[in-house]
């Protein structure tokens, strides 16, 4: 299933692939209608992809800080290692650092690792956080329609966890932030210095307890 041009790399389960960079539509099934850019290739033929040492689809092209492919041979920003198992505290600390450094694409890779390895009852939470990161990525790339939709979808996914907010997450504030930013990017785009860095955890959260 090809939801965005193959230069994005990664596996088809990657959340980034659910948003067309041209029309902003979120597509989750290959039969969904879409624009000429996000429609599957004729006959459903798969495009060839680079693969890593383990044989997984992983584009070898260099990327910039927002994960956009650069021409082969240019120096890019290193990708996050894929499939790393981290504690929730490690995941959130790494994702927060990447958000703060203007690399939400890389933050989404960290959060996707957590989503894929989390207990079943927490997977929607981590997936929602990853969707927010993808929303920020698309917004900063200029795809404000897709960015706003993913920010809202992420907020909807994590909202059921607000009452118990595990791992020191500041979910009530995070849900409000994501919905406010969705409105902002739809109406005004991404102004210079715009607030697209979420605060994932409460001040003095559970990090210290999880370390020991």
Tens-place pLDDT, residues 123-163: 999 999 999 999 999 999 989 999 999 999 999 999 999 99
Domains of the chain: 88-211 (1.10.3450.10)
Model pLDDT, residue 26: 59
Model pLDDT, residue 74: 84
Phi-psi region of 98 (alpha: psi -120 to 50; beta: other; left: phi over 0): alpha
Say if residues 27 and 20 touch (Cβ distance below 8 Å).
yes
Model pLDDT, residue 204: 66
**What average pLDDT score do residues 83-98 get?**
95
**What average pLDDT score do residues 74-93 get?**
89
Whether pLDDT at 209 is above 50: no
**What average pLDDT score do residues 183-212 get?**
75
Averaged pLDDT score across all residues of the chain: 79
DSSP labels for 168-204? GB-HHHHHHHHHHHHHHHHHH---TT-------B-TT
pTM: 0.75
Who has greater pLDDT, 185 or 5? 185
Model pLDDT, residue 46: 44
Whether pLDDT at 3 is above 50: no
Model pLDDT, residue 21: 54
Whether pLDDT at 193 is above 90: no
């Amino acid at each position: 299933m090809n939801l965005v041009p193959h230069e994005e790399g990664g596996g088809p389960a990657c959340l980034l692939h659910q948003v067309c960079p041209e029309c902003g539509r979120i597509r989750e099934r290959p039969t969904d209608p879409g624009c000429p850019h996000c429609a599957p290739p004729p006959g459903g033929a798969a495009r060839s992809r680079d693969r890593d040492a383990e044989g997984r689809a992983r584009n070898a092209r260099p990327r910039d800080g927002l994960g956009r492919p650069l021409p082969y041979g240019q120096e890019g920003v290193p990708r996050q290692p894929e499939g790393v198992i981290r504690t929730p505290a490690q995941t959130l600390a790494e994702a927060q650092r990447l958000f703060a450094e203007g690399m939400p694409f890389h933050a989404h890779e960290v959060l996707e690792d957590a989503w894929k390895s989390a207990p079943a009852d927490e997977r929607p939470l981590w997936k929602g956080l990853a969707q927010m990161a993808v929303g920020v990525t698309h917004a900063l790339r200029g795809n404000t329609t897709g960015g706003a939709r993913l920010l809202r979808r992420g907020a909807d996914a994590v909202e059921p966890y607000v009452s118990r907010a595990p791992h020191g997450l500041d979910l009530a504030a995070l849900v409000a932030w994501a919905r406010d930013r969705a409105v902002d990017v739809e109406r005004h785009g991404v102004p210079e210095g715009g607030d697209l860095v979420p605060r994932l955890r409460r001040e003095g959260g559970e990090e210290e307890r999880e370390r020991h």
